[in-house]
Amino acid sequence: MADVTIRAADGGSFSAYLATPKSGKGPGILVIQEIFGVNKVMRETADAFAANGYVAMCPDLFWRQEPGVQITDKSEAEWKKAFALMQGFDQAKGVEDMKATVAALRKHQACTGKVGSVGYCLGGRLAYLMATRSDTDANVGYYAVNLPDILGEAKNIKKPLLLHIAEKDQFVPPEAQAKIKDALKGNTLATVYSYPGADHAFARIGGQHYDKKSADQANQRTAEFLKKNLGA
């Protein structure tokens, strides 16, 4: 487990946390950060994927604003910084950085060549964009934020997409959830699950709204989805 350097398509470079499986070989997983950077939670998430046989890589998507951000959800000051970073985030360049990370994963000696993405919060939105704008083999989004404004891209989905929605998500109101479900209901490549009573970040261990029952169910569905589509 170590940080590696990825070359950006438009120049410069950024870091990514890399975790590899003990077996020495496996499909790749692009782990897409929340708004708190590549922090302890995201690194442990990558480690967990590696423990399950994947080559996991979590890129620093805020590097253009401030490289190496690693904050938590434990203080008001950190929340303010996290929201400021999200507001300043260039989504289009972020997608290009994720594509560069996927390319690096595919070339990594431990990777079988197949690569999927799994994202949380902001990363959930970005996982959706990887499904519509990249050649990743499968994509998973947990409690994705601000999807209604990009649902028109659903027609571009060519590989399986799995979304986990928290029914009590304070950042994704019921009307937004309904729009997501309505936009994807006719798409045979998209699967959407809702979790009654669960709030945003229900799968973040140690978080204020961690819900073990919902998290376990969502993670099991993710594991089965990735195994089916990536072959781990």
pLDDT tens string 217-228: 999 999 999 999
Q: How far is CA 157 from CA 46, 127, 144, 153, 227, in A?
A: 25, 11, 16, 8, 19
Mean pLDDT of all residues in the chain?
96
Question: Nearest CA to 134 among 149, 120, 144, 119?
Answer: 119
14 pLDDT more than 90: yes
Question: Averaged over 76-101, what is the pLDDT?
Answer: 97
User: Which CATH fold topology does 2-230 show?
Assistant: Rossmann fold (3.40.50)
Segment 185-189 shows an average pLDDT of 94
What value does the mean pLDDT take over residues 55-64?
Answer: 98
- Out of 169, 199, 209, 211, pick the active-site residue: 169
- Quote the pTM value: 0.97
- Candidates 97, 37, 100; CA nearest to 67 is 37
Q: Report pLDDT for 1.
A: 77
* Mean pLDDT (whole number) for 113-118: 97
The pair phi, psi for residue 24, each rounded to 5°, is 90, -5
Predicted confidence at residue 168, as pLDDT, reads 98
Q: Give the CA dihedral 15, 20, 24, 25, nearest 10 degrees.
A: -80
How many angstroms separate the CA atoms of 225 and 229, rounded? 6
Mean pLDDT for 2-14 is 95
Q: What is the mean pLDDT of residues 85-106?
A: 97
Distance set, CA 205 to CA 16, 56, 73, 174, 201 (Å): 21, 19, 11, 24, 9
Is 169 a known active-site residue? yes
Task: Tell me the domain boundaries of the chain.
Answer: 2-230
Two tokens, residue 160: 């399986």
Q: Name 35's Cβ contacts closer than 8 Å, sequence gap at least 6.
A: 82, 83, 85, 86, 121, 122
Region of 138 on the Ramachandran plot (φ > 0 left; ψ -120 to 50 alpha; else beta): beta
What is the rounded average pLDDT of the residues 77-102? 97
Q: With pLDDT > 70 as the criterion, what percentage of the chain qualifies?
A: 100
Average pLDDT over residues 185-200: 97
List the catalytic residue out of 73, 137, 199, 200: 200
Query: How far out from the chain centre does Cα 203 lie?
Result: 12
Residue 232 pLDDT grade (very low, low, confident, very high; cuts 50, 70, 90): low
| Banded model confidence at residue 191, pLDDT cuts 50, 70, 90 | very high
H-run or E-run covering 163: strand 161-166
CB atoms within 10 A of CB 183: 19
- Flag whether pLDDT at 57 surpasses 70: yes
Q: Is 209 known to be catalytic? A: no
Nearest to 82 by CA among 211, 201, 203, 162: 201
